[in-house]
Amino acid sequence: MKRFVCAALTAAVIAGPATAKTTETLGTGLAVALPVVAGGVTLLKEDYTGTAQLAVTTLLTVGTAYGLKHLVRECRPFAEPCTHGGSNWDSFPSDTSALAFAPAEFLRERYGWSYGLPAYAAAGFVGWSRVDAEKHHWYDVAASFGISLMYNELITTRYHKPYGLYSDIKADSRGVYASLDYKF
């Protein structure tokens, strides 16, 4: 499974330059690929709770970024001075980075760093590509990252295999209790 995530992200990076004319285009492609890959991981694991959590955290993260983008008037780096209307004022936060960081943090929070690290590498590239293309300031990308952390912390739970052996130790004022359970 971990190889699947690494292979999918690697294929997106390798195949991207053949069709992408700029790092911005490649970054946008990776931003779209990340939730698809994360969704594929949840489905391959038959983790339907994780699928729902991924959908909710991604929608909330991107929705919040999109809403803030229209509330906060921040000029894009290429548009200095920002005197005209339109999308020149839509810099803060980066909704493309939000689309990338939400599934990256989901994979880390739900399945651990072995899934999160390659996803974070791809999401980091997305953020860098937005800054490099002068579509966003570094703090626009950082804000998107922070929004994704917040929603994933609130919604995403750690994945536990549905079958297996589980142990637990609890202590209170009356003693220490150990349990060993097996789920069929």
Domain ranges of the chain: 2-183
- CA distance linking residue 144 with residue 124, whole number of Å: 11
pLDDT at 87 over 50: yes
Confidence of residue 18 (pLDDT cuts 50, 70, 90): very low
pLDDT at 16 over 80: no
User: Is the whole model's pTM more than 0.85, yes or no?
Assistant: no
Mean pLDDT of the chain: 82
**Percent of the residues in the chain that have a pLDDT greater than 90, as a whole number:** 46
Q: Which of 45-49, 81-85, 108-112 has the lowest mean pLDDT?
A: 81-85
Confidence of residue 20 (pLDDT cuts 50, 70, 90): very low
Mean predicted confidence (pLDDT) in 120-140: 88
pLDDT at 127 over 70: yes
- CA distance linking residue 120 with residue 98, whole number of Å: 12
CATH T-level topology, domain 2-183? Vanadium-containing Chloroperoxidase; domain 1 (1.20.144)
Q: Mean pLDDT: which of 9-13, 25-29, 119-123 is highest? A: 119-123
**Percent of the residues in the chain that have a pLDDT greater than 70, as a whole number:** 78
DSSP the chain: -HHHHHHHHHHHHHHHHHH-SSHHHHHHHHHHHHHHHHHHHHHHTT-HHHHHHHHHHHHHHHHHHHHHHHHS-B--GGGSS--S-GGGGB-SS-HHHHHHHHHHHHHHHHH-HHHHHHHHHHHHHHHHHHHHTTSS-HHHHHHHHHHHHHHHHHH------SSEEEEEEEEETTEEEEEEEEE-
- CA distance linking residue 5 with residue 120, whole number of Å: 12
Which residue, among 132, 64, 136, has the nearest Cα to 102 in the 3D structure? 64
pLDDT at 2 over 60: no
Higher pLDDT, 14 or 138: 138
- CA distance linking residue 88 with residue 73, whole number of Å: 9
Tokens representing 142? 């950082």
Higher pLDDT, 130 or 3: 130
- CA distance linking residue 74 with residue 90, whole number of Å: 6
Contact 121, 108 (CB under 8 A): no
